[in-house]
Amino acid sequence: MQNCLTLKKSNCKNCYKCIRHCPVKSIRFSGNQAHIINNECILCGHCVVVCPQNAKEIVSEVEKVKVLLQSGIPMVASLAPSFIANFNGAGIEALTDALKKLGFTDVEETAVGATIVKKEYERLLKEENRDIIISSCCHTINLLIQKYFHAELKYLADVLSPMQAHCADIKKRHPEAKTVFIGPCVSKKDEAQYYDGYVDAALTFDELSEWLRAENITIEQKTDSNEKSRARFFPTTGGILKTMTHNAEGYTYLAIDGVESCIQALRDIESGKIHKCFIEMSACKGSCIGGPAMEVRSIVGGDLAVSNYAGKEDFDIAEQDPNDLRKLFTPIELKGQQPTETEIASILRQMGKFKPADELNCGSCGYNTCREKAVAIYNGKSEISMCLPFLKDKAESFSDTIVNNTPNGLIVVNENLEVQQINNSARKIMNIRSAADVLGDQVIRIMDPKPFLDVLNSKTDLRDVRTYLAEYNKFVKFTIVHDREYHVLICIMRDETEEQTERQKKENISRQTVEIADKVVDKQMRIVQEIASLLGETAAETKIALTKLKESITDE
């Protein structure tokens, strides 16, 4: 498969939206970047459409077409019938005028090729008595069957697509000409490159519009009409069936759009539920008018535009040799391997899934089941970190471990002063048996709300405030911070009761020591005075010495 999609690495934000919308999970993640696995991709273009960062882009072939135009070789454009929905009702004449200004020799409708293809489908149904025939107009559906449904490959109509049939017809009429297909599809680029000799380049409507703007060419808003244009219905859901005669005996005719619906139909065929049926399959919802390169993506509006523009009769085409319309489809082998049950179980355990009940199958990682994700991890397409419930549990477990094991008390209240969270240390300070006893209650139930109100009203945080919680007989130092982004107040509380008690003990001991020293001094003074009276000596020096002893004890 050709490289028709590229990734702007700097744009990828690792949101996993592309893998969630990829019907075959052909995207791998490495180094926080999404990478398209070309071998597995079916080029549906869903990742291009849903990427919020525009990180996926379609590879442009405008420069290649410009080089061909400059060579002087006659260039004929094959314009997909969905153009009427994309270019606001401008008809084929208006588009022809614009494209000729770019240098194209002529412009024709791919619907001519669609007429050739639908006639061949009718012939297969009438003459070859096949059990099931699946239309082969959509290259994405062809790739889906070639890569993922090998057993159903025999049911895929071995007929050229309308793009190929039309370009082959152009080259038959103008052997010297080069052909350029213009349409709403990514996969047509791959089909044009893979099958040689039909299409020399493929552009999308996006690319054409950008090119016209760069050249200051405006498409005139004029609509033409042509009764012989019934194949213009092809880009709508059931559009192929609208152009066919349904007179093949015993056949049922079905139209299915959307890759997921087509996958389900292929599984039904695989299980033997469907027989004697012609199935029109389109990868895009709404068929081609819902294509990834449609600038105007409105299924209802597009369907109306096509219906109003389509005629009632077929284009006049020359008789075709069925052999000239044959197209060989071969299986495309994928490289992925299937791990053993033991290996899957090991990967699931790493994601914190130890039993079936742990497998949420939430799809947030992009995979339908946890087992599918485990297989993707085994094949290097996914990472364990892409499991959001696993990451959430891990983050909560980590934060809970910190919160519940810190010696500081933590209380979180909302701006209505309702308790949102309280950790083990805070519950211990306040003698609260269980967090559930206070969660959702007003903070006034467990402590004075005034500091919280002061923070809210003053818009200034409180830091390192000491207070006594009389109802708990606890001394604490607290800080209250207002998180305005999350509209919560966080109270961080440190229990200083033991320190305060120890300080009071020391103060009591010091006070008692001073009292004892006072008594000793008084007693010693009396004794000194008595001795002094007997000896006639002064007691001044003794008094000074004892006073200094008292002061030193008091200072301690």
Q: Give me the average pLDDT of each 10-residue run along the chain (556 residues).
A: 74 83 88 85 93 88 96 96 93 96 97 97 94 97 97 97 98 96 96 95 96 96 83 96 92 97 97 96 96 90 93 91 95 86 87 82 79 85 73 65 85 94 92 91 94 94 93 93 92 90 79 76 74 60 63 60
DSSP string covering 260-316 = HHHHHHHHHHHTT---SEEEEEESSTTGGGG-TT-SS--HHHHHHHHHHH--SSPPP
Q: Distance between CA atoms of 376 and 19, rounded to whole angstroms?
A: 11
Residues 122, 265 within the same domain: yes
Q: What is the CATH number of the domain that holds 359?
A: 1.10.15
**Structural domain contains residue 33:** no
DSSP string covering 140-205 = HHHHHHHHH-GGGGGGB--B--HHHHHHHHHHHH-TT-EEEEEES-SHHHHHHHHSTTT-SEEEEH
Alpha-carbon dihedral sign for residues 524, 525, 527, 528: positive
What is the pLDDT, as a whole number, of residue 374?
Answer: 87
What is the pLDDT, as a whole number, of residue 480?
Answer: 96
**Structural domain contains residue 252:** yes
Q: SS3 of 233, please?
A: helix
Residues 208, 75 within the same domain: yes
Phi-psi region of 432 (alpha: psi -120 to 50; beta: other; left: phi over 0): beta
Q: Which of 374, 404, 434 is the last residue of a domain?
A: 404
What is the pLDDT, as a whole number, of residue 394?
Answer: 64
**Structural domain contains residue 41:** no
Residues 433, 311 within the same domain: no
Residues 371, 413 within the same domain: no
Report whether 210 contacts 298 (CB < 8 A).
no
**Structural domain contains residue 8:** no
**Structural domain contains residue 231:** yes
Residues 363, 469 within the same domain: no
Residues 316, 384 within the same domain: no
Q: Distance between CA atoms of 495 and 479, rounded to whole angstroms?
A: 12
pTM here is 0.72
What is the pLDDT, as a whole number, of residue 398?
Answer: 64
Residues 314, 416 within the same domain: no
Distances (CA, A) of 300 to 71, 279, 305, 444, 453: 41, 22, 9, 59, 57
Q: Distance between CA atoms of 202 and 198, rounded to whole angstroms?
A: 11
Residues 446, 307 within the same domain: no
What is the pLDDT, as a whole number, of residue 545?
Answer: 61
**Structural domain contains residue 172:** yes
Furthest CA-CA distance within the chain? 154
**Structural domain contains residue 506:** no
CB atoms within 10 A of CB 29: 22
Residues 393, 465 within the same domain: no
Residues 447, 539 within the same domain: no
Q: Which of 290, 325, 360 is the last residue of a domain?
A: 325
Q: Distance between CA atoms of 290 and 285, rounded to whole angstroms?
A: 6
CB atoms within 10 A of CB 349: 13
Domain count, the chain: 4
SS3 annotation, 466-478 = EEEECCCCEEEEE
Q: Distance between CA atoms of 111 and 229, rounded to whole angstroms?
A: 7
Q: Distance between CA atoms of 191 and 141, rounded to whole angstroms?
A: 12
Phi-psi region of 417 (alpha: psi -120 to 50; beta: other; left: phi over 0): left
Name residues whose C-beta falls within 8 Å of residue 260's C-beta, 6 or more positions apart in sequence.
23
Residues 274, 341 within the same domain: no
Distances (CA, A) of 457 to 34, 178, 362, 525, 541: 47, 76, 43, 62, 63
Report whether 113 contacts 159 (CB < 8 A).
no
Query: In terms of residue numbers, what domain contains 390?
Result: 336-404
**Structural domain contains residue 25:** no
What is the pLDDT, as a whole number, of residue 166?
Answer: 98
Q: Which residues pair with 75 in a beta bridge?
A: 178
Residues 320, 355 within the same domain: no
The strand ranges marked E within 488-528 are 488-495
CB atoms within 10 A of CB 504: 11
